[in-house]
Structure 1
Amino acid sequence: MNLEQLFLENKEQSIAGRYLTLDKIKPLLDRLNANNELTVVGRSVMNEPIYKYQIGSGKIKIFLWSQMHGNESTTTKGLFDFFNVLKSGSDLATQLLTDFTFCALPMLNPDGARLYTRENANKVDLNRDSQDLTQPESKVLRAVFEDFKPDYCYNLHDQRTIFGVDNSGKPATMSFLAPSYNEERDVNDSRLKAITLIAGINNVLQCYIPGQVGRFDDSFNINCIGDTFQYLGVPTLLFEAGHFPGDYEREETRKYVFMSLVSSFKILSENDIVSSGIDNYLNIPQNKQSFYDFIYKNIKINYDSNEKKTNFAAQYKEELIDGKIQFNAYIIEIGELENRFGHHVYDLGGVALNDAEGESLELNKKADFCLKNNTKFVNGLIKK
């Protein structure tokens, strides 16, 4: 199967970028709702509808949800790209709809999506509310889970640009986890199904993004929804869509979300389970906080009346301004920056800041500065 071509044929062109709200996906849901597959299953804190989209008649029941964290939209885009496959009328669509029943909540946290926050409108992280169920969105997710009785759960998220693949210097463009179901992190039959499926997905992705797939930490936390569903005996897969070089809008990464979804369902449909799946899974390198958006090397500064060379790093903050996401770079660390990589790296060659500009290195200051050789940086990037 040519997954690149399949993606291009089915990419939902009407949605793009990082800021994805209910207003933007509602027309798509209405368009997909040809046979009453769409229902409102609850309301958010701010009374926004939470939609369930269910399609297919197969015996393998797949439960998927995205934007549990409102500012994590990449997997939602990939989900709609996949919905287009199911509506395409192709042989693949027929096969998938015959083998599977898909139940999706494509935007669990519409309030957080509108506010561009991780939490819901009550400032609660829904992924820490799986036991207390204090929030209406958490209750909706649990009610649909109990009613649908899935065979597999897909917990779809984004992760920040700080994550890389172990110490390789490559970004973690996609990361996965088969969550633990107990403190000991044992592997039972349910967790093994998730493990072997992730191993199969990784085999496919290595053909497209070699070395850019990570494995998330499996420490057990029953308050997390993936751990809860795994504890309840349902194989659960955590997807974490991360950074691809130069792709801050996550338009390239959405392709790998799409590929991961399609390849996982092909594996299940064809019962093409990876042999030695647990070994292959454990060989996926660990996700690690190893990146900054910007690293600046060898800048000369005055320290205790002496000149010395140092390094510093800046990180983007994603700020919602006038309905658009602005990527604003701020200085966050000054020092050796050992074992850290940068998505943008500048060697300043020992040049000092331009004193005439009144410049100084300060944490949490916007990354706008000028060097004595008149090289100017604006919002982290060198000004041409």
Structure 2
Amino acid sequence: MDYLQLATQYLEPKLQGKYIYLDSILPILQTLDSDFEITEIGKSVQGRGIHQVKIGKGTTKILMWSQMHGNESTTTKGLFDFFNFLKSDNEIAKRIKSDYTLLCIPMLNPDGAFLYTRENANKVDLNRDAFNATQPEMQILHSIYKSFQPDYCYNLHDQRTIFGTEGFNLPATVSFLSPAFNESRDYNDVRLKAIHVINKMNSVLQCYIPNQVGRFDDGYNVNCTGDYFTTQNTPTVLFEAGHFVGDYDRDIVRKFIFISLLSSFSDSYENVIVDKELNNYLNIPQNNKCFYDFIYKNVKIIENNVEKIINFAAQYSEVVIEGHLKFIATIVNIDELDNYEGHIEYDCEEGLFLSKGLHNPILNEKADFFINNLTEFNNGVKII
């Protein structure tokens, strides 16, 4: 099966870029056919609707939710691409709808999505509210979980561009986790079932992004949604959409999320062979904080009247300005870059740094500068 061809064929064209909010998805929800049951299941803090999409009539039930963090939209795009596939007459789509019942919440935090923040409108991180459920959005997720009683949960997120795969120093384009159920991070049947799903997805993704699949840290925190549902004896899979070279809008990475979702249904969920499954999972390289968006090497600076050669790094922050997402590059690290890579690297060949009359970079300043007063860098990027 050519998974990448399917991901391209069923890509939802109305969802592009990273700024995806409720008004982006509502018109698409209205186009889903009669196979899909669309229900508003509650309201956010600011009164925006939260919707569920239900499809399939099978005995194995899977609950999925995306944009728990409002500024993490890649998996939402991948989920709508997957809906397009399920609408089709593809035999695999028919089998999935026959064997499974899927209940999907494509945007759990619509306020955060509109404001482009991780938190909800009360400035609460919903992924730290699972145990106490103080927020209306988390209360809705709890209610759906209890009424649906899923056999599996898919917890869909994005991760920052700083993550790579340990030992390879390649971008962690997709990462997974079978969350822990206790402080000791032991493995039980619940975690092993989630691991089995992860191993299926990883084996397919290696054909497309070899050594760019990571394993997220499994430190235990019962306030985190995945850990909480695992303690409730529901196998839960954390998805983290990461960086692919040049793809800051994550319109390539969404295809790997589609591939992940589709390949998770590739065979039975049963017959887990413990030793093999656990070893395969633990062989997935861990996420490692080893990247910056930009690294500038061999830069001459003058500090306290002393010349020296340094390296420094800049990182994008993401800000919505007048309804459009902007990437703002700022200087975040100066000369402490051992074991770091840049998604974009420049060799400045010992050219002299200049910005605002200074010959040395300043932390948290925008990455606008000149080298040798000739080569301009604007918002991190070399101007040719």
Q: Does 1:118 align with 2:118?
A: yes
Q: Does 1:190 align with 2:218?
A: no
Where 2:120 maps in the other structure, the secondary structure is coil
Partner residue, 1:297: 297
Unmatched 5+ stretches in structure 2: none
Residue 34 of structure 1: CA displacement? 2.3
Written as runs of structure 1 = structure 2, the 5 A alignment for 1:241-280 is: 241-268=241-268, 276-280=276-280
Written as runs of structure 1 = structure 2, the 5 A alignment for 1:194-343 is: 194-268=194-268, 276-343=276-343
Written as runs of structure 1 = structure 2, the 5 A alignment for 1:18-57 is: 18-34=18-34, 37-57=37-57
CA offsets 1:111-132 (integer angstroms, 9 cap, x no match): 0000000000000000000011
C-alpha spacing 1:274/1:347, structure 2 compared with 1 (3 Å)? farther
**How far apart, in 2, do the equivalents of 1:229 and 1:322 lie?**
38
**How far apart, in 1, do the equivalents of 2:96 and 2:31 lie?**
20
Where 1:292 maps in the other structure, the secondary structure is strand
Runs of 4+ in 1 over 6 A off after TM superposition: none
Residue 169 of structure 1: CA displacement? 2.0
Are the equivalent residues in 2 in contact too, given 1:355–1:372 (CA < 8 A)?
A: no
Where 1:13 maps in the other structure, the secondary structure is coil
Are the equivalent residues in 2 in contact too, given 1:197–1:264 (CA < 8 A)?
A: yes
Partner residue, 2:141: 141
**How far apart, in 1, do the equivalents of 2:335 and 2:213 lie?**
29
Calculate the TM-score normalised by the size of structure 1.
0.97
Are the equivalent residues in 2 in contact too, given 1:214–1:284 (CA < 8 A)?
A: yes
**How far apart, in 1, do the equivalents of 2:382 and 2:35 lie?**
53
**How far apart, in 1, do the equivalents of 2:36 and 2:83 lie?**
15
**How far apart, in 1, do the equivalents of 2:284 and 2:53 lie?**
32
Partner residue, 1:96: 96
CA offsets 1:146-174 (integer angstroms, 9 cap, x no match): 00000010000000000110142200000
Calculate percent identity across the aligned residue pairs.
54
**How far apart, in 1, do the equivalents of 2:2 and 2:355 lie?**
56
Partner residue, 2:109: 109
Are the equivalent residues in 2 in contact too, given 1:167–1:339 (CA < 8 A)?
A: no
Question: In the alignment, residue 205 of structure 1 is paired with which amino acid?
Answer: L
Residue 337 of structure 1: CA displacement? 0.6
Residue 225 of structure 1: CA displacement? 0.4
Question: In the alignment, residue 309 of structure 1 is paired with which amino acid?
Answer: I
**How far apart, in 1, do the equivalents of 2:99 and 2:36 lie?**
20
CA offsets 1:222-246 (integer angstroms, 9 cap, x no match): 0000000000000000000000000
Question: In the alignment, residue 152 of structure 1 is paired with which amino acid?
Answer: Y
The CA RMSD over aligned residues, in Å, is 1.5
Residue 307 of structure 1: CA displacement? 1.0
Question: In the alignment, residue 304 of structure 2 is paired with which amino acid?
Answer: D
**How far apart, in 2, do the equivalents of 1:334 and 1:356 lie?**
17
Count of paired positions = 383
Are the equivalent residues in 2 in contact too, given 1:70–1:120 (CA < 8 A)?
A: yes
**How far apart, in 2, do the equivalents of 1:358 and 1:304 lie?**
11
**How far apart, in 1, do the equivalents of 2:121 and 2:34 lie?**
32
Are the equivalent residues in 2 in contact too, given 1:200–1:273 (CA < 8 A)?
A: no
Question: In the alignment, residue 49 of structure 2 is paired with which amino acid?
Answer: P
Are the equivalent residues in 1 in contact too, given 2:165–2:212 (CA < 8 A)?
A: yes
Partner residue, 1:382: 382
**How far apart, in 2, do the equivalents of 1:356 and 1:128 lie?**
42
**How far apart, in 2, do the equivalents of 1:355 and 1:293 lie?**
20
